[in-house]
Amino acid sequence: MSLLSDLINLDLSETTEKIIAEYIWIGGSGLDLRSKARTLPGPVTDPSQLPKWNYDGSSTGQAPGEDSEVIIYPQAIFKDPFRRGNNIFVMCDAYTPAGEPIPTNKRHAAAKVFSHPDVVAEVPWYGIEQEYTLLQKDINWPLGWPVGGFPGPQGPYYCGAGADKAFGRDIVDSHYKACLYAGINISGINGEVMPGQWEFQVGPSVGISAGDEIWVARYILERITEIADVVLSFDPKPIKGDWNGAGAHTNYSTKSMREDGGYEVILKAIEKLGKKHKEHIAAYGEGNERRLTGRHETADINTFLWGVANRGASIRVGRDTEKAGKGYFEDRRPSSNMDPYVVTSMIADTTILWKP
């Protein structure tokens, strides 16, 4: 089928100025990614130069059939690692024809938080550790696990190598390069504690771009698993029992935290987060109660506690930060299926804007 790959890999820039733009949006479940492509007359690098578009919201659970148009607004551009050339990905958010954000559009409210002058002044940075599980197609059992059974207990798999310890590295490595190519600020990858589970990190990203980059990285990952014929899961506890869940630990700092005396600012911020623990937990992802049990490197979902180098806490402060008197901290509560727009903006809102 090499002729098929020849066609897929055609470099069109030799025959036409036209480019292909893949518009990406989030569907009705709040986690399902959708996309479709259109031809544009020439290269574009600025989202504000891209046309708005629309899609059939009645097919994604976002509009009724007799009034089905949902409008997508281009918000961020990335290079398309599959089509390459001058072809692009466009991360969008969704609005009614009247210009109102639809209920599943979490970006709109996040963008408002991030454009508040007090938040802008603090230049909030995010480093998000996205965990995920790879599953065998049709049976939805983790990749590499024997069908009808279980692999040996956790221990050898975290950052492991070898055919009996690392399952699906092809997907992880191609994702890493594809994201770098696309212009996503992907900072690293590692094999996780549960076999078939992996993690990539994106950051540091400023404000709203953290959410844009995570969503596009998720999109690229699912396009790659599609090619590999493997199913991608962001479920926070894919296998019950003595198997780790999957989270999206969110590292955070503000300008004040990064400067001398920042450690005090960090302590105050953590205190505020503790006062809104229930509200945050409610917004940190569906099914998180199956993951946050107090075991498997999590804190119990009903408890808020923090500590230096403590992976069993809700919030962990690194030893470096404690030693330097400034730095960042890690909110370990968000689940792998969290919405990064919601989590990042909520952390900024609670720590910078909210007065207890």
Stretch that binds a second copy, among 16-24, 100-108, 209-217, 316-324 (CB under 8 A): 16-24
Contact between 130 and a second copy (CB under 8 A)? no
CB atoms within 10 A of CB 99: 8
Contact between 8 and a second copy (CB under 8 A)? yes
Beta bridge partners of 252: 126, 329
Nearer to a second copy, 232 or 239 (CB): 232
The distance of closest approach from Cβ of residue 62 to a second copy in the complex, given in angstroms and rounded to an integer, is: 11
The distance of closest approach from Cβ of residue 57 to a second copy in the complex, given in angstroms and rounded to an integer, is: 10
Contact between 239 and a second copy (CB under 8 A)? no
| 154, 222, 287, 289: residue in contact with a second copy (rule CB under 8 A) | 222
CA 294 → CA 129, 154, 245, 302, 314, distances in Å?
Answer: 19, 17, 12, 9, 9
Closest CA to 133 of 287, 29, 274: 287
Nearer to a second copy, 58 or 310 (CB): 58
Closest CA to 185 of 207, 164, 170: 207
Task: Check if the beta carbon of residue 32 is closer than 8 Å to that of residue 26.
Answer: yes
**Site residue total, a second copy (CB under 8 A):** 49
Report d(CA 352, CA 119) in Å as an integer.
6
Task: Check if the beta carbon of residue 333 is closer than 8 Å to that of residue 279.
Answer: no
Contact between 68 and a second copy (CB under 8 A)? yes
In sequence order, which residues have a C-beta less than 8 Å from that of residue 287 and are 6 or more positions away?
A: 235, 236, 237, 335, 337
Nearer to a second copy, 65 or 148 (CB): 65
Contact between 62 and a second copy (CB under 8 A)? no
Contact between 66 and a second copy (CB under 8 A)? yes
Stretch that binds a second copy, among 64-72, 150-158, 160-168, 278-286 (CB under 8 A): 64-72
Report d(CA 193, CA 153) in Å as an integer.
10
User: First CA to last CA across the chain, in angstroms?
Assistant: 63
User: What would the x/- binding string for a second copy be over residues 240 to 279, using CB under 8 A?
Assistant: ----------------------------------------
Contact between 3 and a second copy (CB under 8 A)? yes
Strand 315-317 to 306-308 pairing: parallel
CB atoms within 10 A of CB 13: 14
Contact between 4 and a second copy (CB under 8 A)? yes
Contact between 13 and a second copy (CB under 8 A)? no
Longest C-alpha distance within the chain, in Å? 64
CB atoms within 10 A of CB 125: 20
- Residue 337's Cβ-count burial label (10 Å; 0-12, 13-18, 19+) is buried
Stretch that binds a second copy, among 42-50, 65-73, 199-207, 296-304 (CB under 8 A): 65-73
The two structure tokens encoding residue 149: 């059974």
| 102, 206, 228, 283: residue in contact with a second copy (rule CB under 8 A) | 228
Stretch that binds a second copy, among 6-14, 122-130, 199-207, 285-293 (CB under 8 A): 6-14
Closest CA to 284 of 239, 247, 318: 247
Contact between 51 and a second copy (CB under 8 A)? no
The distance of closest approach from Cβ of residue 36 to a second copy in the complex, given in angstroms and rounded to an integer, is: 3
Contact between 100 and a second copy (CB under 8 A)? no
The distance of closest approach from Cβ of residue 83 to a second copy in the complex, given in angstroms and rounded to an integer, is: 7
List strand residue ranges (DSSP E) for 170-228, in order.
Answer: 186-191, 197-206
| 49, 69, 139, 169: residue in contact with a second copy (rule CB under 8 A) | 69
Contact between 154 and a second copy (CB under 8 A)? no
Which residues bind to a second copy, rule: CB under 8 A? 1-4, 6-8, 10, 12, 15-16, 18, 20, 27, 32-39, 54-56, 58-61, 65-69, 82-83, 97, 137-138, 219, 222-223, 225-226, 228-232
